């Protein structure tokens, strides 16, 4: 099993509207069944932003259901890949990218051994640069606490 420490940027560079979006997530998330968000994704997984979602699209949950990795809508037409604390709607970390991709169908997150965020216009925007068969995230297994810097995304071999 390979473990990759991903480092996410602080909130300092994210526009104020992102923070406002996070505050709105709490109402939306209460209507979502956290048990429907997978705790693991396998090679071949693909996700694109869902146009009907107004704030946060969860893609991967931890085993406790307290945290989720997913797309956060920013400024109505952009997205960021973030880790969100579900109960508080607090954005804990975000992926380091030179620019935020569009919240549109050509943007996709896929797992081909690496977890990759890309769009056809820009190419790869962010990647774990790993080679595994499945990806999961568990703050208990990685020793995550809200004050810790890296979040461990685990890329595993079956």
How many H helices and E strands in the chain? 2, 12
Per-residue confidence (pLDDT) for residue 155, from 0 to 100:
60
Q: Is 24 exposed, middle or buried (0-12, 13-18, 19+ CB in 10 A)?
A: middle
pLDDT digit string (tens) for the chain, length 158 residues? 434 444 444 444 444 334 444 444 443 444 445 558 888 889 999 999 999 999 999 999 888 888 889 999 999 999 999 988 888 888 888 888 888 999 988 999 999 998 999 998 889 999 988 888 888 876 554 454 555 544 555 665 55
Per-residue confidence (pLDDT) for residue 140, from 0 to 100:
52
Per-residue confidence (pLDDT) for residue 111, from 0 to 100:
93
DSSP 102: B
β-pair type (151-156, 108-111): unpaired
**Model pTM above 0.75:** no
């Amino acid at each position: 099993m390979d473990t990759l420490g991903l480092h996410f940027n602080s909130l300092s560079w994210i526009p104020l509207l992102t923070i406002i979006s996070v505050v709105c997530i709490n109402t939306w998330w209460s209507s979502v069944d956290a048990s429907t968000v997978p705790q693991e994704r396998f090679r071949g997984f693909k996700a694109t932003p869902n146009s009907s979602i107004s704030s946060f699209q969860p893609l991967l949950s931890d085993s406790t259901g307290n945290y989720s990795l997913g797309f956060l809508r920013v400024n109505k037409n952009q997205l960021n890949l973030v880790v969100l604390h579900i109960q508080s709607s607090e954005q804990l970390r975000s992926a380091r990218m030179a620019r935020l991709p569009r919240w549109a169908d050509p943007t996709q997150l896929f797992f081909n051994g690496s977890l990759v965020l890309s769009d056809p216009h820009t190419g790869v925007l962010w990647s774990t640069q790993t080679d595994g068969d499945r990806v999961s995230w568990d703050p208990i297994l990685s020793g995550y606490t809200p004050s810790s810097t890296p979040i461990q995304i685990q890329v595993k071999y079956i």
